[in-house]
A and B are shown apart, each in its own frame.
Chain A
């Protein structure tokens, strides 16, 4: 079946198929929702060792839809959206059509020991030595533009890297004023982090930057554990065959993501639901307004995935936890955390639409 298909996928044969991951529904949902709407703001996956956190993130790349990009641009600018282009592309676009290509979305790794200049970009050494030109050499943030930026053990990331990362994430742009270069370029990425809470907690500023946070735990069900082990063994024995077996599922999921993206713009949030979202955040005493925005976006994305045209209470219930739980735990000192589900239920009841429905 692979022979007849011309669809270009990134096919790293060492990647475990996303659709072959057993259970861990919330983690998969959070990743897929971000793929549908990157503006949700990324995912943080917290959990102990060996709970398939990294596997899931790396597997995600395989099911992400391809995208159009300016072929020779280091930032892979979108050919049709001048607002999201780098200066160079914008200039070229006004002169004519820059060359484009279809590329898979990628998961770009940020290693913990990356230096700051590798993250933000730096002076192009060869160019500088060769002809004395102070040219910008793009870094990891450039590669991450329109892709997934993945930080494993994100809680161990050095402060100076975190600061640079947050700056870029906040602005959707990387501004470099260092080492003889002054440069800015778009840096809109889906930030995905994984961490083991035993190794220490995350700085609140960084925690808040993640749209969704999922806590994963090991699976206690014996049958499921057996299933997980067997799939793993089958994959290790013959990755190609294993991947081939999931090819249909993978492609179906990709198509779902593409369809959901197309539908997303038409999903509406009824007034009473919008009010319930705001009221939930007020009840939970969530800092700032990012919680409102994230919950709205995540709910709309889930509605789109489910093929629904409006955000319903049930959709809301399915994403409220991953969107808000981490925003209610500002400091580990406040023990009387309000339960998100309770707050949501109360808010929904309070702002029920006029005239029945439940």
Chain B
């Protein structure tokens, strides 16, 4: 049923990528290792390898007429039906089957994943019978999810439930059913498309990162094998038949040996010590390392786990389980905090800075008025630092794309609900609702058609990803040229734009300086343009903060009128030194608080990045230490007040790169 249309590329013909192949083979030796996630850039044979795996997996004995392919000799792993038949003394018909790679398409509906009411059966005789889904087909096989990081949450949840229990429990639509669902979970993903939910990541026993191959000879070899395969798949597969058989035999032998592999006591202790040292939470890592090392030993024909096996197992099983902070710690952290070594400014193009210092300060950087200084690379943004605390968990898990239930015909069909006059009928659900009555109808004079009553009619419930709109409000006044604020602000803004590219949010940029604010980038997905326009942003002049906030407010209101589903996040970058009144003679600071309150009242999610806090600041350098401290504290208090008025997450700019902001 799920045999590929043409035979897969032979596993043994894959050039290099030994870690990926090894992880897949080790899991084949011991499926209880818990599956493999292969991460890597496009076009690195990830999917090809997974699909190729099935071919080298040894056949297994299965109950021939069981939809779950139960093992004939292991009652604990049988479905209720097989167990009952066995107990009743029936000799179960068996057959040898190849292990299969069962696909879970991203757009699968939940009823197909977990199984549902057998509509045909129900319509024919009104019997509520279970129709097995993908999880049933995956039992004792490989369940493959390509682009697993894009899988819908409702499917992920069902998948995790089943994976955790080794069983699929269904309670829906008049059926109540459970069946074994032990599968090797294999996923592939391209990290550029977004990260995996930590809960799902932890579920994979082994994680392998693959990269393209740079060696010219190997690349030529890869292309030539691919071309030969495409030209004559059957002939190519014949060429590798011996290798394939040998690998299958190795796997089968290793399985047979696996139970006899011993783990010396000191090695067992080393596993746990290492996991503790690496600060891996939970025990899943330890278990995966032990099993992987044992499988590696079995493959080698060794009777005992050695250091070499342990080292390999750790590489495959532990890296993804280390806490994020541990993984990311390294040279990056140093590179991010580079505020002191400002390069000498470009003496040209200083016209704008002439009016920069309304409060009499001299920019240290001597008239550098182009916001795009050469500041090196952008950094990954931890968006949880910017979104309001109330959503933090949710955001962390799902990224910035917010699914929302919608009516109408677009969007992904995720479920159904009862409705009398639907314009988007969920036929499958409607039939299921009507199905159980049909048996009684047979033999009456109702004719051949199905009796569907208004109460049966279901409408499709669709889900669409609400469109994210990231509004960056950037202080381009003279005061940001103080110290390294400008450079760090720019890095942060560009990093956020880059992040929006990954999350496919639209971006808008509002800049304020001098006497006014303007939208320098209208909402767009063309982030290249956004970047260029930010690059051309000029800096200097006073700080019309309330103009900036007001402009952002108007922009958000306008976009909401256009699309009520839009999800705006307004991130303001400023040092808070509001000094231009909105209305003549008013107090700029009080006005700023008023506009901030309006943003909060409009229920817009906001973050306030304080570009002054904690950065090396020349303003204070000429003052006494106490005076500078007092001034800093005052500045901090004021910015905090402003952020609170906006109901915004307060983040000091310097903490953004690390994500571990701890607002004092």
Give A contacts to B, CB under 8 Å.
39, 83-85, 87, 113, 115-117, 120, 122-123, 125, 128-134, 158-160, 163-164, 166-167, 170-173, 175-182, 184, 186, 197-198, 200-201, 203-205, 208, 265, 271, 274-275, 277-279, 281-282, 286-293, 296, 330-333, 351
Contact = CB atoms under 8 A, between A and B. Distances in A.
A132 B107 contact: no
B501 A332 contact: yes
A120 B109 CA distance: 13
Nearest to A295: B223
A177 B104 contact: yes
Contact of A288 (B6, B42, B112): B42
B31 to A, nearest CB: 22
Contacts of A116: 107, 412-413
B108 A274 contact: no
Given A203-B504, A286-B212, 10 more contacts: A83-B5, A115-B409, A123-B427, A128-B427, A132-B119, A167-B106, A200-B524, A279-B216, A289-B223, A293-B223
B190 A205 contact: yes
Contact of A292 (B113, B150, B223): B223
B531 A133 contact: no
Contacts of A287: 41-44, 212
Nearest to B230: A39
Interface in B427-481: 427-428, 431-432, 435, 438, 448-450, 452, 464-465
20 contacts: A83-B5, A130-B449, A132-B431, A158-B411, A163-B107, A170-B47, A173-B5, A179-B426, A182-B134, A203-B504, A205-B190, A208-B42, A274-B223, A281-B219, A286-B212, A288-B44, A288-B212, A331-B498, A333-B378, A333-B501
Scoring A85, A182, A286 by chain B CB atoms within 10 A of each residue's CB, the highest score goes to A182
B4 A173 contact: yes
A84 B432 CA distance: 34
B460 to A, nearest CB: 9
Contacts, number: 201
A333 B494 CA distance: 9
Nearest to A276: B216
B220 A132 contact: no
Contacts of B426: 179
Contact of A289 (B103, B107, B222, B411): B222
A296 B227 contact: yes
B250 interface: no
A325 to B, nearest CB: 15
Interface string B401-412: 000000001111
B21 interface: no
Nearest to A130: B449
B147 A113 contact: no
B398 to A, nearest CB: 14
B282 interface: no
B223 A278 contact: yes
Contacts of B427: 122-123, 125, 128, 179-180
Interface in B206-238: 212-214, 216-217, 219-220, 222-224, 226-227, 230-231, 233-234
At the interface, is chain B mostly helix, strand, loop or mixed?
A: mixed
Nearest to A174: B105
Nearest to A167: B105
B186 interface: no
Contact of B527 (A131, A289, A332): A332
B2 interface: yes
A177 B106 contact: no
A217 B217 CA distance: 38
Contacts of A186: 5
B323 interface: no
Nearest to A179: B428
B192 to A, nearest CB: 6
A275 B220 contact: yes
A186 B3 CA distance: 12
A176 B134 CA distance: 11
Contacts of B190: 205
B216 A275 contact: yes
Contacts of B104: 177
Interface centre among B112, B223, B431 (most CB of A within 10 A): B223
Interface in B514-568: 524-528, 531
A87 B4 CA distance: 10
B111 A129 contact: no
B571 interface: no
Contacts of A129: 431, 449-450, 452
Contacts of A125: 427
A159 B399 CA distance: 15
Contacts of B40: 288
A204 B233 CA distance: 30
Contacts of A292: 219, 222-223
A281 B411 CA distance: 38
A288 B42 CA distance: 5
Contacts of A204: 42, 192-193
A115 B462 CA distance: 11
Contacts of B438: 132
Contacts of B524: 200
Contacts of B587: none
B380 interface: no
B412 A160 contact: yes
Contacts of A117: 413
B271 interface: no
Contacts of A115: 409-410
B73 interface: no
A351 B217 CA distance: 11
Contacts of A296: 223, 227
Contacts of A201: 525-528
Nearest to B15: A289
B13 interface: no
A166 B108 CA distance: 14
Nearest to A329: B528
Contacts of B214: 282
Contact of B428 (A120, A123, A274): A123
Contact of B109 (A178, A279, A333): A178
Interface string B157-200: 00000000000000000000000000000000010110000000
Contact of A177 (B42, B108, B216, B494): B108
A81 B335 CA distance: 58
A330 B230 CA distance: 27
Contacts of A164: 105-107
A110 to B, nearest CB: 14
A87 B528 CA distance: 46
B316 interface: no
Nearest to B3: A87
Interface string B1-43: 1101111000000000000000000000000000000001111
B98 interface: no
Contacts of B217: 275, 278
B146 A167 contact: yes
